[in-house]
């Protein structure tokens, strides 16, 4: 179901149509507006196109860092996984031995 969203950001206004829920689109827009305010605050930049570009870059940086941190598996995680697999194998052997008797 397509929904229309009116964007009024950095002195520019236009509408977009998206297949997402209206509440979701409003949430994304609110987050983008907050990101723009943060960019303006930390950079001191006021030129709208520069703010928009820098905000997009910072959001992509944040997304990239999140993706990398989610994909990292620590040595400790691997050790826990291996121990769990060993326990499962031991239990399977014990159950097989018990059911074979």
Q: Is residue 33 part of a domain?
A: yes
**CA–CA separation, 88 and 83 (whole Å):** 9
Question: Residue 45: phi, psi to the nearest 5?
Answer: -80, 140
Q: Is residue 86 part of a domain?
A: no
First to last CA, the chain: 61
Which token pair is 90?
């031991």
Q: Is residue 82 part of a domain?
A: no
Q: Is residue 17 part of a domain?
A: yes
**pLDDT given at position 50:** 95
Burial (Cβ within 10 Å: 0-12, 13-18, ≥19) of residue 39? buried
Contact by Cβ (8 Å): 55, 39: yes
pLDDT per residue as tens digits for the range 75-84: 777 888 888 8
> How many domains does the chain divide into?
1
Tokens 């018990």 found at: 98
Q: Is residue 84 part of a domain?
A: no
**pLDDT given at position 74:** 72
What is the domain range of residue 67?
3-72
pLDDT per residue as tens digits for the range 64-77: 998 887 667 677 77
Q: Is residue 88 part of a domain?
A: no
């Amino acid at each position: 179901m397509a929904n229309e969203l009116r964007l009024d950001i950095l002195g520019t206004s236009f509408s977009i149509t998206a297949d997402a829920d209206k509440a979701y689109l409003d949430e994304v827009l609110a987050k983008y507006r907050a990101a723009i305010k943060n960019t303006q605050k930390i950079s001191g930049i006021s030129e709208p196109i520069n703010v928009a570009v820098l905000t997009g870059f910072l959001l992509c940086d944040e997304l990239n860092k999140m993706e990398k941190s989610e994909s990292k598996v620590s040595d400790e995680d691997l050790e826990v996984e291996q121990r769990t697999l060993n326990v499962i194998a031991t239990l399977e052997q014990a159950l097989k031995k018990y059911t074979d008797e």
